[in-house]
Amino acid sequence: MSKIVIAIDGYSACGKSTTAKEVAKILGYRYIDSGAMYRAVTLYFLDHHVALTNPKEIHRALQQINISFKINAKGITETFLNGLSVEEEIRQMRVSEQVSPVSAIKEVREAMVAQQRKLGKERGIVMDGRDIGTVVFPQAELKLFMTADMMVRAFRRQREWLDQDRLVDLDDVVENIKKRDLIDTTRAESPLRQAEDAVVIDTTHITIDEQVDEVVRMAFSKIVSMRKTTR
C-alpha cells in the first residue's frame, strides 16, 4: 500500500498529538512529535541557564543536544534528551511557559526543522506541530489544521495536568495558552498559520475518537486516489 506524509498543524490543546498518535497506530505509520522536540530544547536551555538573547550560548547549546524517540514497553513513544527519557519533564508548566519563546528563535527552528526532515525522509509518518504543512513538509499529501474554542482548550489542558497530579489554576492555563498563541502566530520564523491546502478540523464539539476516525478516513481516501493515479 502506498504510504503518505500526514502533517497536522494547529493551536495547542486541540488534540493534535493524541489524534496523530492514534492515527499513526491505526495506519502502522511512525509518529513524530515535533512539539516534544522544541520542549526538549527548552528543558535543556532552562536546566543549563542558556540566555535566549545570547546567540553564542544558543549555538553552543544546540551542539550539545541530541533528541530521539523510542517506543516503551507500553507501546508509547517517549522523548529522549541526550539518552535520558524526559517525557514527563517536558510537560511541566515551567517548560510550557518558555517553549514558545524558545521555538521563536531562528537557529532553534532551523536545527529542529532539519532534524524533522531527516526523520521524515521515509514515507509513512504522521507529524504534528505548528509549521509541519507550511515549512517542514510543504509537499505532504495530507495536511490538516486543528482549532478549537479557547475555553475548551483550557479545560482540556487543565485536565491533562490534573491527570498527572498537577494542580494548576484554570486562569493560569488560559493565560498560558493566550501567550503561546500570540507568540506562535506572530513570530518571524515559521509562524503558525493554516496551509492553503489544509483541511480545517474544529475539535470544539467532537471527541478524540471522532477526530481520529475522520483523519483515518481522509488518509485512506488519499492513499486510494494515489494508487489510482499511479496505475
Per residue in 129-183, pLDDT (tens digit) is 999 999 999 999 999 999 999 999 999 999 988 887 788 899 999 999 999 899 8
CATH number at residue 115: 3.40.50.300
User: Could you give the CA distance from residue 95 to residue 225 in angstroms, rounded to a whole number?
Assistant: 42
pTM: 0.86
The domain tally of the chain equals 1
Those residues whose C-beta lies under 8 Å from the C-beta of residue 127, and which sit 6 or more positions away, are: 5, 6, 7, 8, 20, 31, 32, 33, 34, 116, 120, 136, 137
Q: What pLDDT digit, counting tens, does each position of 48-98 carry? A: 999 999 999 999 999 999 999 888 888 778 999 999 999 999 998 899 889
Name 69's bridge partners.
79
User: Could you give the CA distance from residue 88 to residue 18 in angstroms, rounded to a whole number?
Assistant: 16
Residue 210 included in any domain: yes
Q: By percentage, how much of the chain surpasses pLDDT 90?
A: 76
Residue 230 included in any domain: no
Residue 228 included in any domain: no
Domain enclosing residue 212, as ranges? 5-223
Residue 206 included in any domain: yes
Residue 229 included in any domain: no
Residue 139 included in any domain: yes
Residue 173 included in any domain: yes
Q: Which is it for strands 199-202 and 125-129: parallel, antiparallel or unpaired?
A: unpaired
| Among the listed residues 8, 6, 5, 1, the one whose alpha carbon sits nearest the alpha carbon of residue 144 | 8
- CA angle (218 as vertex; 217, 224 as ends), nearest 5: 90
User: Could you give the CA distance from residue 95 to residue 44 in angstroms, rounded to a whole number?
Assistant: 10
